[in-house]
């Protein structure tokens, strides 16, 4: 049995991922924005897996202080963390800024998970075989990291912001694999899945959320990928990512930018 944290576990792919993992007998930590949403998720998961071992944490991922507080709470509550599934994501049709002044898509989809992962490394180190799974998307192929305009102050476009954040997810996962060889870090495209995000962004139907959860569950638990790191998966198979996602210099530069962005909440800043 693994102890697994899933961000954005109250609906969509995150909820389906948590449910499937609970059915496999793993101990789950469910993240959500509000206590009410998490309570609903717990009730539904217990119907599917009556004996599920579930814990909860709450944080608005658009607020880096809340992310840091959640990480501290987890450090105090958990003896170890075996798997972190960075799943939560948003698609913004209008430009909004996060609590910390960052474009909201970038803040929630990338910066929150960059910070959370960094703060949870000590817990992951206590696991015999730690894994970090980052949910990206095939739309990373359309992404471009423009360091002079990370907040998209000019000509905001929801799709472009989302694609950029998904490219950032992949770059982060790859760089994490290089920097922390004691864990495995892989990213994935879940498929074109009928979530609220898909409907808001593309007005499409898509496949079921259970289908969308399959690769996350595979990367979190399968012995087949116990030693696999720095790879990008689609349909439980390692595939080639776009050239910009494999750019090591770009990944290092994004890492440095992200460290500066979350610096007030890193331990050495205290």
Residues recognised as catalytic: 162
Nearest to 86 by CA among 154, 234, 185: 185
Which residue has tokens 């709450």? 58
Residues 6+ apart with CB under 8 A from 155: none
Task: Tell me the CA distances in angstroms from 38 to 27, 45, 116, 240, 264, one per residue in order.
Answer: 15, 10, 19, 35, 28
Q: How far apart are CA 251 and CA 104, in angstroms?
A: 21
Q: In the sheet that 53-58 helps form, which strands lie side by side, from edge to edge?
A: 53-58, 27-32, 3-6, 83-86, 131-135, 184-189, 232-234, 237-239
Which residue has tokens 């959370």? 116
Longest dimension (CA), the chain: 51
Contact (Cβ atoms closer than 8 angstroms) between residue 190 and residue 13: yes
Nearest to 17 by CA among 235, 193, 189, 214: 214
């Amino acid at each position: 049995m693994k102890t697994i944290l899933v961000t954005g576990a109250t609906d969509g792919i995150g909820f389906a991922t948590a449910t499937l993992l609970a059915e496999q007998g793993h101990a789950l930590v469910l993240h959500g924005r509000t206590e009410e949403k998490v309570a609903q998720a717990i009730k539904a998961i217990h119907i599917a897996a009556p004996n599920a071992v579930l814990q909860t944490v709450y944080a608005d991922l658009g607020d880096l202080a809340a992310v840091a507080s959640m990480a501290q709470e987890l450090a105090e509550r958990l003896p170890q963390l075996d798997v972190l599934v960075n799943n939560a994501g948003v698609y913004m049709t209008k430009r909004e800024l996060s609590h910390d002044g960052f474009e909201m898509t970038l803040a929630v989809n990338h910066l929150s998970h960059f910070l959370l992962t960094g703060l949870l490394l000590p817990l992951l180190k206590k696991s015999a075989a730690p894994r970090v799974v980052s949910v990206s998307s095939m739309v990373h192929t359309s992404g471009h990291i423009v360091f002079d305009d990370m907040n998209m102050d000019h000509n905001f476009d929801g799709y472009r912001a989302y694609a950029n954040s998904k490219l950032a997810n992949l770059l982060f996962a790859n760089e994490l694999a290089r920097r922390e060889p004691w864990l495995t870090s892989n990213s994935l495209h879940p498929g074109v899945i009928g979530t609220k995000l898909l409907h808001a962004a593309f007005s499409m139907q898509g496949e079921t959320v259970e289908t969308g959860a399959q690769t996350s569950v595979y990367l979190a638990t399968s012995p087949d990928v116990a030693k696999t790191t720095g790879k990008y998966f689609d349909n439980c198979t390692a595939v080639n990512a776009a050239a910009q996602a494999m750019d090591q210099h770009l990944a290092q530069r994004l890492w440095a930018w992200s460290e500066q962005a979350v610096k007030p909440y890193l331990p050495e800043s205290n």
